[in-house]
């Protein structure tokens, strides 16, 4: 089964609103695309469309949070991370305010919308901020758990979602916990640490590698900040080499976070697979993944070169 993480967000936000009247939703005129429109239709009195005014989006949400509400604000990642950055930094993070920032349309799989809408720097921007939690679910099932779970967490959260449909690769019965990763496939030759869509690509690559006698462990690192330091050290000790995979720039994203941990706690060789200092471009999602070396075939080739296989 494949399902877009933005769709799971809209459906779960609606259910959350039915259970908790402290949940409010705000959008910068993109609620139809982020799927927050489902909440708007049922709870118009708890929904605000700020128009194309992202600074106001964060400012109003901060006011709601200070009055005891739990605001979920949503827009495209390319707009919600850069245009109101000062508001996010000073209102949400400096004051440690309970705002949930939900960014859709991340990565090159946004597709035909082109490079201006394909946000590839948002993890770097958000994880640099004190107090900010940064999450990127592997699939729609994990998205549902995150949207529910962050309502119970008191503080700012950045939730990175996508337009494209992802395969469901996580277990519905497995609980999500901020700061924890999960081994989805075991192996002793190398560890593939992925986030978002790249978790399913890592699993595809691991299957191909297994056919060539290379056993790759696959880790879903959906909590990028805080990151699961213990799991990373365990994998480094047991497999020796680490490959990170993300639909994001190789600078400042998941790969950087992994290297920061391992360089201090258990240094091993790390290969970062992501977008190599380029902007996105218009095209179909699968074509763009291949163009940027993020498809499973490209991953296999890079892993083999890295481990000398």
Correct CATH for 182-307 of 3.40.1350.10, 3.40.50.920, 3.40.1210.10, 3.40.190.10: 3.40.50.920
The residues facing 216 across adjacent strands are 190
Q: Residue 207: its pLDDT value, please?
A: 98
pLDDT digits (tens, 9 = 90+) for 17-30: 999 999 999 999 99
* Three-class secondary structure of residue 269 per DSSP: coil
Burial of 302 from C-beta contacts in 10 A (0-12 / 13-18 / 19+): middle
Q: Which fold has domain 2-167?
A: Rossmann fold (3.40.50)
Mean pLDDT of 234-263: 98
Q: What is the mean pLDDT of the chain?
A: 97
The residues facing 166 across adjacent strands are 3
Q: Are 150 and 135 in contact (CB under 8 A)?
A: yes
Q: What are the Cα distances from residue 60, in Å, to 94, 101, 212, 262, 298?
A: 16, 13, 55, 39, 44
For residue 62, what are the contacts with CB-CB under 8 A and spacing of at least 6? 87, 91, 92, 95, 97, 99
Q: Please, which pLDDT band fits residue 1 given cuts at 50, 70 and 90?
A: confident
Q: Are 28 and 58 in contact (CB under 8 A)?
A: no
Q: Residue 221: its pLDDT value, please?
A: 98
**Active site (annotated) includes residue 290:** no
- Of the chain, the percentage scoring pLDDT greater than 90 comes to 97
Q: Where are the domains of the chain?
A: 2-167, 182-307
Q: Residue 309: its pLDDT value, please?
A: 56
Do 2-167 and 182-307 show the same overall fold?
yes
* Structure token digits, residue 226: 């805080």
* Structure token digits, residue 229: 């330091």
Q: Residue 202: its pLDDT value, please?
A: 98
pLDDT digits (tens, 9 = 90+) for 63-105: 999 999 999 999 999 999 999 999 999 999 999 999 999 999 9
* Three-class secondary structure of residue 74 per DSSP: strand
In angstroms, the CA 88 to CA 81 distance is 8
In angstroms, the CA 309 to CA 307 distance is 6
Q: Please, which pLDDT band fits residue 184 given cuts at 50, 70 and 90?
A: very high
In angstroms, the CA 32 to CA 75 distance is 10
Q: Which of 54, 142, 204, 246 is catalytic?
A: 54
Whole-model pTM?
A: 0.97
């Amino acid at each position: 089964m494949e399902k877009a993480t933005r769709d799971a967000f809209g459906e779960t936000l609606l259910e959350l609103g039915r259970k908790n009247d402290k949940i409010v939703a705000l959008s910068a005129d993109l609620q139809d695309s982020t799927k927050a429109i489902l909440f708007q239709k049922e709870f118009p009195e708890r929904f605000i469309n700020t128009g194309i005014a992202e600074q106001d989006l964060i400012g109003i949400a901060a006011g709601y949070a200070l009055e005891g509400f739990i605001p979920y604000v949503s827009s495209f990642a390319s707009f919600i991370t850069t245009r109101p950055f000062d508001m996010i930094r000073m209102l949400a993070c400096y004051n440690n305010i309970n705002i949930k920032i939900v960014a859709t349309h991340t990565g090159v799989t946004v597709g035909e919308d082109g490079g201006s809408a394909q946000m590839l720097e948002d993890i770097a921007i958000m994880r640099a901020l004190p107090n900010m939690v940064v999450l990127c679910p592997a699939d729609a099932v994990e998205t549902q758990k995150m949207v529910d779970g962050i309502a119970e967490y008191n503080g700012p959260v950045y939730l990175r979602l996508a337009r494209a449909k992802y395969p469901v690769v996580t277990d519905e019965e497995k609980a999500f916990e901020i700061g924890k990763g999960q081994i989805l496939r075991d192996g002793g030759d190398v560890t593939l640490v992925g986030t978002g869509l790249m978790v399913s690509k890592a699993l595809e690559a691991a299957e191909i590698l297994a056919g060539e006698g290379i056993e790759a462990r696959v880790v879903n690192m959906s909590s990028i900040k805080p990151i699961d330091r213990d799991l990373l050290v365990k994998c480094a000790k047991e497999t020796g080499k680490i490959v990170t995979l993300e639909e994001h720039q190789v600078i400042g994203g998941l790969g950087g976070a992994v290297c920061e941990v391992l360089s201090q706690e258990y240094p091993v060789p790390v290969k970062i697979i992501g977008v190599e200092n380029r902007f996105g471009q218009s095209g179909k999602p699968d074509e763009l993944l291949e163009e940027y070396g993020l498809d499973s075939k490209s991953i296999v080739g890079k892993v083999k070169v890295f481990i000398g296989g």
